[in-house]
Amino acid sequence: MDKTEEVIKENIKKAKGGSQIAFSNLLDTFWNDVYSFQLVRTKNENDAEDITIRTFSKAFDKIDTYDDAYEFKTWLITISKNLHVDLIRKRKRSLLDGMSSHGDDAKKILDETPSVEDQLIIEQNLANLLQDIKKLKPHYQKVINLRYFNELSYAEIAKELNEPLNNIKVKLLRAKKLLSEIIKKK
């Protein structure tokens, strides 16, 4: 076994123990492999990036189920492939649903601007979301705000915070997961 394989196995072991640094190291090691695989499959940078992020999120959530008898990269690629298949199925379903309502031209004419009540609900939901975001640590708040409220790309956030791109992706992934947990506790 060469040095790189030993380091990977050690990082997997530490990641199973909950080490965030080990997770980051595994993401740095395998990001390009998974992203390249998805880029070939999807032929779309946004989809490839989205699926890659979701792959690592799912892998880190299920790291305890990883079997050392298989290559870690193969395990990640399998997760990635399954997420891509799910995305294709979802889009096909969405397309079929859109086609079934094709005859409803009258619906297209209706005014779709939100009513005063709808606007109030949207504002209240946003206020609640902002309160939940404030419960996160400041560095997580920052990446959430830059990504979703300032609508910066991952690269722009990395430049703004002077951090490596993969660190930004991991931080955003963790921030979304923590925010989700905060919202679920309500």
Give the pLDDT confidence of 164-180 residue by residue, as tens digits. 888 888 888 888 888 88
Residue 148 DSSP label: I
Sign of the CA dihedral 51, 52, 58, 64?
positive
Residue 105 lies in a domain: no
Among 23-27, 43-47, 75-79, 94-98, which is the least confidently predicted range? 94-98
| Tokens found for residue 135 | 């419960």
Q: Please tell me the pTM assigned to this model.
A: 0.56
pLDDT tens, residue by residue, 94-112 = 777 766 555 555 455 555 6
Question: CB neighbours (10 Å) of residue 120?
Answer: 11
Answer for the pair 22, 14: CB distance below 8 angstroms, yes or no.
yes
Same domain, 84 and 122: no
Query: What's the pLDDT at 172?
Result: 86
Same domain, 59 and 131: no
Query: What's the pLDDT at 104?
Result: 53
Among candidate residues 100, 123, 158, the one where a domain is terminated: 100
Same domain, 75 and 157: no
Structurally, the chain folds into a number of domains equal to: 2
Domain that holds residue 123: 111-184
Euclidean distance between CA atoms 36 and 7, whole angstroms: 22
